[in-house]
Structure 1
Amino acid sequence: MTVPGVGPIVALAFISTLDDAARFKKSKDVGAFLGLTPRRYQSGEMDWSGRISKCGDRDLRRLLYSAATTLITQVKKPSPLLIWATRLNERKGFKKAAVAAARKIAIVMHRIWRNETVFDPNMEGVA
């Protein structure tokens, strides 16, 4: 995978955990499968979202968080993904930005795996 911040270990763990690219109809479902989406509590008029659900593979979630941390702190080559993550870092804080970037990286990795393409840093739909 050629996504910034993602190395061979993260890519191998991602592919081995998901096992089949056609398993998910939408790439957005990968974030929920890995537990990188907020929990929802809805009852009557109450509706709040909490912390991430943490369902799914814990090790892959840690690796994606590490890749997102690398993206935010180490990657110098500009891309819409990096710009989006750094703006989110300034607004929401580092940890929330890293979790959101990890989810976005998982979505991008699934999309390029499913389409059998390489990462294009100038993709319009990323940020």
Structure 2
Amino acid sequence: MTVPGVGPVVALSFAATLDDPGRFRRAKDVGAFLGLTPRRHQSGDMDWSGRISKCGDRDLRRLLYAAATTLITQVRKPSPLRTWALRLQERKGFKKAAVAAARKIAIVLMCIWRDGTVFNPTQEANA
């Protein structure tokens, strides 16, 4: 997998943890499966988003967070994914941007795995 910030350890862990790319109906479901989406609390008029749910595999979540951190801090090759993460970092802070980038990396990895394609930063879709 050729996504910036993702190495062989992250790619193999991702494939080993998810096992079958057809098990998810949509690629966005991977973020919720790995616990990278915010918790929701809804009751009557009250509706707030909390911290991430932390469901799923903790080790893969840590690896994706490390890949997102590498994407934000170390990768110099321009891509829309990195540009998006840097703009989010300016608005929300580094840690929230890294978690959001980790979720987006997981979605991109799932799309690549399902289609059997290679990551092309110029064709990146809004995931």
TM-score, structure 1 as length reference: 0.98
Alignment of structure 1 residues 1-127 onto 2, 5 Å: 1-126=1-126
- Contact 1:40-1:48 within 8 A present in 2 as well: yes
**Aligned sequence identity (%):** 79
3-state SS of the aligned residue for 1:122? Answer: helix
- Contact 1:21-1:113 within 8 A present in 2 as well: yes
Distance in structure 2 (CA, Å) of the matches to 1:122 and 1:28: 20
Q: How many pairs are equivalent?
A: 127
Gaps of 5+ in 2: none
- Contact 1:81-1:126 within 8 A present in 2 as well: no
3-state SS of the aligned residue for 1:3? Answer: coil
Compute the displacement of 1:72 (Å). 0.0
Gaps of 5+ in 1: none
- Contact 1:3-1:119 within 8 A present in 2 as well: yes
- Contact 1:80-1:126 within 8 A present in 2 as well: no
Alignment RMSD (CA, Å): 0.9
- Contact 1:35-1:52 within 8 A present in 2 as well: yes
Distance in structure 2 (CA, Å) of the matches to 1:17 and 1:44: 37
- Contact 1:85-1:101 within 8 A present in 2 as well: yes
Distance in structure 2 (CA, Å) of the matches to 1:33 and 1:68: 18
- Give deviations 1:45-93, integer Å, cap 9, x for gaps: 1100000000000000000000000000000000000000000011100
TM-score, structure 2 as length reference: 0.98
